[in-house]
Chain A
Amino acid sequence: MRSITRTLMFLCLVLGTIFVLFPFFWMTATSLKVEGKGMTFEFIPKRVEVLGPFKLQVGTAPEGKMKNDLTELTSDSSFTIGWSAPEADGITFEITDQDGNKKIESPSLNKDKNWIVANSLPSGNYSYQVTINRSWSAAWHSLYTLENFRKIALNPNYPFLKFLRNSFMVAFSTAFLTVVLCALAAYVFAKKEFPGKQVLFWTFMSAMMIPGMMFMVPQFALVTRFGWINTIFGLVVPHLANVFGIFMLRQMMIGIPDSLFEAARMDGASEATIFYRIVVPLVMPSLAILFLLTFVGQWNNFLWQLLVNTPESDLITLPVGLAMFRGQYETQWEQMMAASCFSVMPIVILFLFTQRYLIEGLTAGGVKE
């Protein structure tokens, strides 16, 4: 009985994982596809691809051409039918007349000779069909490629590596300073008595209830007045007062027994020592959570980073860079997704490191420095 429930649970988890990771999978798959295939539902490469039937009117020039179509009228009654697929093992053509009778079926041609001349046909309407055979590796390469990542990394107009550095810098500085500022203040609210404490605390808390959008205009005006446009200060400082951080850390710090502090004070420890040696290690997991939350929040903070950087800024961050790259119409779907992967990967890596630390830090009760 017990093992059945465990197996069931396990299965549910596997299914759930597939479900929640689907966006991730989809993004990665699209970023690896060759240009033009990103918008399609094709995920498994095809070894045999049948194209057509296409209309062929002997006596008149073929209408409309597809990519890779080499079909052309060579004289009044003769056609060159061709298809370029350099990576293919073989290409066959099949020409049928209006009544569906097979007229010409070419032998499987190799890649250097992927065309035939249809000069023995009386004029009239025909249709032809192209069958492309590929090896597994060629089929794979006809759908998937690493080219998108190369293009993204080397694009001279959109230095994604620099955007990445900027984003890291902004997210890291904000997250780190937020944690420091919040931890300091939260300690006081949790463990100290001073006049006006309640008033100050509730003033802080009520700021949590104002929609963030409303801070934008005045904050932007301030940043401009301080001359912080295009500087790291403009990107970082306005987000440091994280009220939720104080709230969360205070809840954790309240739980620390006062006896610990008294013992330390008796040993002659200063306030700073107590804070650094006792409080910080004890609430480290919460600090890590706050760090991660702020980091992720700033990593994806498009609107503010757009406003504070003028386009010539050296501090353009990834979300803004991605938006610049997007243009009016999302025509480069595959490269867009490659760029998105580019912006998601660092944060996934950061998470994979911190999540271990978070969970183990909390569960094993270990305090690691």
Chain B
Amino acid sequence: MNRSLKTVIPFLLPFTAVFAVFLLYPAVYSVYLSFLKATIYTDLSRIFSDMKWCGLENYQKLLYDTNFYWSLIMTLYYAVLVIPMNIALSLVLASILSNELPGAKFFRAAFYLPNVLDLFVIAVVWTAIYAPNYGVIDQLTAALGLEKIFENGILADPWWAMPGIAVSVVLKGSGFGMILYLAAIQNIPRDIYEAADIDGASAWQKFTKITVPLVKPITLLLVVTGILGSLMAFSEIYAMTGGRPYETLPDSIPFFGGTTQGTTNLSGYYLFSKFYVAQEYGYAAAISVALLIISLPLSILSFFAFQSEGPSLRKLSSILLKKLRSRTAKAI
């Protein structure tokens, strides 16, 4: 026991130290903060020492905050759009590019490239693509002699603004998933596909019966990071719509009836506006605790699903390692 600790500590200590100081302490402090309250007149230089204990007041306020519930629904909508689209596109790109097409290297680089571009530039360009009348989409439909699809452009349409953002986010981010899938696909032994060829399997069958199951670990990884990413997404909203377009909901809708809500107002963006714009630190902390409580079971569930997929992951890894073993043996 003691001996195992001794060997483990030098490996663990650096990370744990940074973690304790810069993540654990701030996290605990955030929870503490969610029970405190400052007034608008509190002296900024003493804001943390002058905050008053207010018990569950922030949580009570949150319980009746329709904007918060709305942002959760929108986040769910966003996640449902982005995660499947991202996985589908990454996988399709990866399986196309795993074939030996001319220029495959170039395409890989090209599809990954948007990942590293600044969001400011991306947002400006997508806005230009979606813009009404002068936008790329509207000019294309006009050139083809078609009717305008969106009266005021996609980002101004309460139903389509979110899908519009989702498409731009997926196209920016799918390159990362593509690389992960590509690595996984190229490590599936060719003889499996050859065997399937002999059995007369079609390309589609090979894709669904061999490729998809064997890259499941990557898929699950993308699901987990997708869930967490959706709950914290804010920069894409900040850069593209700022939570707009706003809609006043009809009275017939239960709970939200009569309120005005941003149709792209994600919970991450809502937190940002409370924390950074309004600087209501106590309330913002309460929101983040609530988000934590929501995301925890979701992520744990995904982790367990991930864990149960262990066999296929191990299979993948062992295939990968079979190739490497001979070389590493030399290295030692």
State if A and B touch, Cβ cutoff 8 Å.
yes
Q: Does the CB pair A211–B107 fall under 8 Å?
A: no
A185 within 8 A of partner (CB): yes
Given A17-B110, A210-B288, A348-B116, A218 contacting B101 (CB threshold 8 A): no
Which residue of chain B has its CB nearest to the CB of A255? B317
Q: Does the CB pair B24–A203 fall under 8 Å?
A: yes
Which residue of chain A has its CB nearest to the CB of B89? A16
Among the stretches A88-96, A122-130, A142-150, A361-369, the one at the interface with B is A361-369
Q: Does the CB pair B182–A359 fall under 8 Å?
A: yes
Q: Does the CB pair B18–A365 fall under 8 Å?
A: no
Q: Which residues of A contact B186 (CB under 8 A)?
A: 362-363
Q: Which residues of A contact B115 (CB under 8 A)?
A: 296, 351
Q: How far is B121's CA from A237's CA once the two chains are assembled, in angstroms? A: 28
Q: Which residues of A contact B11 (CB under 8 A)?
A: 184-185, 187-188, 192, 271, 275
Given A192-B7, A244-B225, A184 contacting B26 (CB threshold 8 A): no
Q: Does the CB pair B99–A9 fall under 8 Å?
A: yes
Which of B1, B106, B117, B182 counts the most A-chain CB atoms under 10 A from its CB?
B117
Q: How far is B105's CA from A269's CA once the two chains are assembled, in angstroms? A: 39
Q: Does the CB pair B113–A351 fall under 8 Å?
A: yes
Q: How far is B225's CA from A193's CA once the two chains are assembled, in angstroms? A: 27
Q: Does the CB pair B101–A363 fall under 8 Å?
A: no
Q: Does the CB pair A241–B19 fall under 8 Å?
A: yes
Q: Which residues of A contact B160 (CB under 8 A)?
A: none
Query: Within A117-160, which residues are at the interface with B (CB < 8 Å)?
Result: none
Chain B interface size range: 35 or more
Q: How far is B296's CA from A250's CA once the two chains are assembled, in angstroms? A: 20
Binary per-residue interface labels of chain A (302-321) against chain B in the complex, 1 for a CB within 8 Å, 0 otherwise: 00000000000000000100
Q: Does the CB pair B183–A359 fall under 8 Å?
A: yes
Binary per-residue interface labels of chain B (1-23) against chain A in the complex, 1 for a CB within 8 Å, 0 otherwise: 10011011011101110110111
B201 within 8 A of partner (CB): no
A209 within 8 A of partner (CB): yes
B281 within 8 A of partner (CB): yes
User: Quick one: which of A23, A241, A251, A337 contacts B126, CB cutoff 8 A?
Assistant: A23
Query: Within B125-183, which residues are at the interface with A (CB < 8 Å)?
Result: 125-126, 128-129, 134, 171, 175-176, 179-180, 182-183
Q: Does the CB pair A347–B108 fall under 8 Å?
A: no
Q: Does the CB pair B332–A209 fall under 8 Å?
A: no
Q: Does the CB pair B23–A214 fall under 8 Å?
A: no
Q: Which residues of A contact B260 (CB under 8 A)?
A: none
B69 within 8 A of partner (CB): no
B237 within 8 A of partner (CB): no
Given A17-B111, A185-B11, A26 contacting B299 (CB threshold 8 A): no
A215 within 8 A of partner (CB): yes
Which residue of chain A has its CB nearest to the CB of B327? A367
B228 within 8 A of partner (CB): yes
- A261: min CB distance to chain B, Å: 11
Q: How far is B233's CA from A213's CA once the two chains are assembled, in angstroms? A: 11
Q: Which residues of A contact B122 (CB under 8 A)?
A: 23
Q: How far is B114's CA from A296's CA once the two chains are assembled, in angstroms? A: 11
B63 within 8 A of partner (CB): no
Q: Does the CB pair B179–A194 fall under 8 Å?
A: no
A204 within 8 A of partner (CB): yes
Given A212-B232, A217-B281, A351-B109, A365 contacting B19 (CB threshold 8 A): no
Q: Does the CB pair B5–A181 fall under 8 Å?
A: no
Given A209-B292, A215-B23, A359-B179, A20 contacting B12 (CB threshold 8 A): no
A-B residue pairs in contact (CB < 8 Å), sample of 14: A6-B99, A13-B96, A19-B171, A20-B171, A21-B113, A181-B14, A213-B275, A217-B33, A263-B332, A278-B328, A293-B176, A351-B112, A355-B108, A355-B112
Pairs A-B, 5 closest by C-beta atoms: A255-B317, A365-B323, A218-B26, A362-B183, A23-B125
Q: A24-B114, A181-B18, A347-B116 are in contact. List 11 more A-B contacts (CB 8 A).
A: A213-B271, A214-B271, A217-B281, A218-B25, A237-B22, A241-B18, A254-B317, A267-B332, A300-B118, A300-B119, A319-B118
